[in-house]
Structures are given as structure tokens and as C-alpha cells.
Amino acid sequence: MHIVFAAAECAPWAKTGGMADVVSSLPKALAKLGHRTSVFVPYYRQVAKAVPNPTVVLSSVTIPFPSYNRFVRILDGGVAEGVQTYFVDCAELFDRENFYGTPSGGYPDNAERFGLFCRAVIEASKIIGVPDVFHVHDWQASMVPVMLRSVYYFDPMLRHVPAVLTIHNAGYQGWFPPETMEKLLLPWNMFTPDKLEHYNTVDFLKGGIVYSDAITTVSRKYVEEIQTAEFGNGLDSVLRQRSGDLFGILNGIDYEEWNPATDPHIAAHYSAENLAGKKECRRDLLHAYGLEGIGDETAIIGVVSRLATQKGFDFIVDIMDRLVNEDMVMVILGTGEEYYERVLVEIANRHPDKLRVQIKFDDVMAHKIEAGADIFLMPSRYEPGGLGQIHSLKYGTIPVVRATGGLDDTIDEQPSGGGNGFKFWGYDSSALLAALQRALGTFRNKAEWKTMMERGMAQDFSWDKPAGEYVRVYERVIENRN
């Protein structure tokens, strides 16, 4: 079958989070199964720097607005591992410094930007090739199913083409003022509480949920969570109504990129059969953070994350004055909320022998932390899927996580042994500290720790199984619509 992906991000061109990795890796896994896959992403300024002179596939696609038209080019991003990438080029909307906005907030014309993107994907597909199914991701692409079932309802080329929506994070929904209906030429009878209206806003993600043929999320646990008031962000009742069409499919990872036996970014290669190289990676990580004289008995706790409350940094800040009394050092890599950037640097200045912080995004350093740390910390308040903990397992770096979403699905703590990591429950920083203390206690038992490392490294979180699950969802919605 032919699957068209529409998303605001796709690695390596445009990435702020895990969605970009999924939109990059899943189509490749589907292509290996013999399916035709195409991916549409906006031609942002950052993409243009990476791909400066792509071939023009369609020189002018007309996108109507109430009193004017915009004209979009479709550019050829090339074919890699069986996946065709297309860029949607509209310089006045996408040639900007950031993808979605500035530190002070989202761009005021985001509804127009991503409404145009969605209509461009539909119009381009009519010319390049109508797919068997559209697979759209998060709020930025949610207008594809909305438009398919409204303004394109009578189009004979598209009427029977289903759409699957993947929710990577229900906390981001795309809320816009009511006049957005007119801006995007959508019928006003869709601005109702059972369709697009949400607290007197046009909610893009809600529209995607209502009008998609199936909805997936990135872990089995998150399917349950988003149907509750605590995690549904106001959409729990809508999601419960669609529960029969809601599926949890755990993200896979690309083992060609994340594999300590072949990783070009780390100091030495290693495997579960020969762990000697991990010691060299440990020394390299300590050197990169300027930590000297750290013995093998001292555990290295690594953190690679957006610095935000959602990621549990309020917990980390709260326990640091107690955690520094343990035999450990912590290295943190990331950017995020200004408050946490400032506070973490202040704590590191007070305890330079215990905490080091790099306020930046650095993909190479992320690989070094995965390979060189002993423990990988992810205390997220909620985590729909999570990739860091899966990377860590492959690198023999034991995760300590909060039991939520994909973290709960992938990490198993067994009090009598046999698990692959450590978990804590509840919104309680003391519970996090207790989980870290359990991990540090186990770390001192080298034989048990080595067994945990080997157990995690042997697990398979490749895309093979998830890709097969997505194929079954596609087949289901195609059959239902036909």
C-alpha cells in the first residue's frame, strides 16, 4: 500500500522532539515491509540550510484563503531507504528562525501556516499520487483528516481515503480563535463542541481526533492515561468516545543510529558480550564534563532532556541537596525553561564535584551520555512514549523512571531481581530519591548490575514489531472506509 505521512518534523531536517524520530524511522520500517511511503514536511529555514537547492516537483500549488491565494511549491527531498520525502515550500510562512514561535509564544499565524501545510499535502497528493491512507502526526497535521471529511468530502479521488492520527503529546493541541474557521474556509457547522470547538477555540488536535478513522498513541499506557482527566488535557471525553478506534503502539528506535557496537560518536564500541568499551566511554564522558578523580565505585547519573517541569526537573531540583550526599555524580545536557537552566547552573556551582550541566542541545554529547553513564534518569510527570530510556537499555545504562506512559511500558523493576531498571510512582520527589537510592545500592553489587545491563541490552525495541502493528491499523481503516 501507499502511505503518505504529514508532520511538522522529521529527522534529520527538523527536530524538536521524539515525533521527528518516529516520522523518520517508521516509514523506513514500512518500506522494508514492501510498502510505498512518502513524507511531507514544511520547508523551514533550517531545512533550506540543509537542503539548499532541491528539485522542484510542483512549481505552483494554489492554496485558497478568504480574500487571497497563497502559492506553494513542492520540493523533492530525495529518496532514502525507500522513503520519498517532499518539502512544502511557502517562504512567507516557513522561512523563519524557529519552527513554531519565539520564547514569548507561538507565531500568531500558526493556524494559517499549518492549515496551508495540510491543504498542500492533500493537493500535492492528488497530483503526485493519491495514497491508500494518510498518516498524520499531532496538531500541526490534524487538519488533513478535518479537510478530507469536509471541504474535500465530494472529491472522488479522496472520498474513500482514510486518515490515521498519531498523538505524540496531547498537551499540545493547537488552539486558535473562532475566526480560524473562516480563515481556513471550513464550514461553521463544524464549530461545535462535538467537532472542532473547545472552550470557544478551534482545537486542531480535537478535530483530528474527531475526524480521523483511527487514532494511535506512542505507548499502551498512554492510551489509558489520555482517557483520564489527569492526562487528557481536556480531550479525555472525546478520546473515550473514540476508544474503539484508539490504539497504543510503542515507538521503536533506529538501531543503526543507537547501537554501542557501531556508534561513531562514542569513545569505544562495546556489546553485551564484551562490555570493556563502556569503561572507556565512561572515562570519555567524565573528561567531557571536566570531572576528574572519579573512581569506578562512584555511579554516573546521566540526564538528556528538555529542562521543563513536565520532564520532572522540579523533582530533580528538590532532591539535589540530599542526593549530593550519595556516592554519585550527575551530568545534565539540555535546554528549556529559563528557571531550570538558571537553578541547575546555580546548584552545579555550589556542588561542582557532584553536578555538571551543559545548557545546549548536542547530539554527539547525547550519545556520549548514553554510553558513558551508569544510570539514566527520566522522572517525567508524563511521558507519552519516551526514547531515552530505550536508548539507555541498548547502551547498558540502567534507567530510573517515573511509572508513566511509555516509561511504565518499557521499564520493569522487580524487587527480587529480574528487572531492567527502577521506577517510582506518584508526584513525590522523595519517591524519586528512594528509587535512585535503590539503583545506587544495586550498582554497588557489580554482578547483579552487570546482569541487569545484559538483560536490557538483549531487549529488542526495533521498529519491526511496531511497523507491523501500524500496517494492521492501516488495513483496518482502509477496509472500514471502503
DSSP string, 275-327: -HHHHHHHHHHHHHTT--S--TTSEEEEEES-BSGGGTHHHHHHHHHHHTTSS
Give the mean pLDDT of 152-178: 95
pLDDT of residue 273: 94
pLDDT on residue 339: 93
Phi, psi at 114, each rounded to 5°: -85, -20
φ and ψ of 318, to 5 deg: -65, -35
- Is the pLDDT at 417 greater than 80, yes or no? no
Please compute the mean of the pLDDT values over residues 456-463 and round it to a whole number: 94
pLDDT at 264 over 90: yes
CA distance 129 to 347: 55
pLDDT of residue 105: 83
Consecutive H or E run containing 475: helix 464-481
The pLDDT tens digits for 30-41 are 999 999 999 999
Q: What is the pLDDT of residue 314?
A: 95
Residue 104 has pLDDT above 80, yes or no: no
What pLDDT sits at residue 272?
94
Is 219 in contact with 384 (CB distance < 8 Å)?
A: yes
Asked whether the beta carbons of 209 and 216 are under 8 A apart, the reply is: no
- The mean per-residue pLDDT over the stretch 17-38 comes to 94
Whole-number Å distance between alpha carbons of 246 and 96 = 35
- Domain limits of the chain? 2-252+464-481, 276-458
pLDDT tens column, 310-366? 899 999 999 999 999 999 999 999 988 889 999 999 999 999 999 999 998 888 999
The pLDDT of residue 482 is 84
Class for the domain spanning 2-252+464-481: alpha beta
Asked if 70 and 63 count as a contact pair (C-beta separation under 8 A), the reply is: yes
Mean pLDDT on 443-470: 95
Grid cell digits, residue 125: 497528493
Q: Are 202 and 183 in contact (CB under 8 A)?
A: no
Q: At residue 195, what is the residue type?
A: K
pLDDT value, residue 103? 73
pLDDT at 481 over 80: yes
Res. 153 pLDDT band, cuts 50 70 90: very high
Share of the chain above pLDDT 70, in %: 100
pLDDT class for 15, splitting at 50, 70, 90?
confident
Tens digit of pLDDT for each residue in 199-245?
999 999 999 999 999 999 999 999 999 999 989 989 999 999 999 99
Rounded to an integer, the average pLDDT of 111-138 is 98
Mean pLDDT of the region 119-137:
98
* Residue 16 reports pLDDT greater than 90: no
pLDDT at residue 361, rounded to an integer: 82
CATH superfamily of 276-458: Glycogen Phosphorylase B; (3.40.50.2000)
Q: Does 276-458 match 2-252+464-481 at the fold level?
A: yes
Question: How confident is residue 132, by pLDDT bands cut at 50, 70 and 90?
Answer: very high
**Total-model pTM:** 0.90
Q: In Å, what is the CA distance from 172 to each residue of 134, 137, 165, 235?
A: 21, 12, 14, 11
Check pLDDT > 90 for residue 416: no
Residue 415 reports pLDDT greater than 90? no
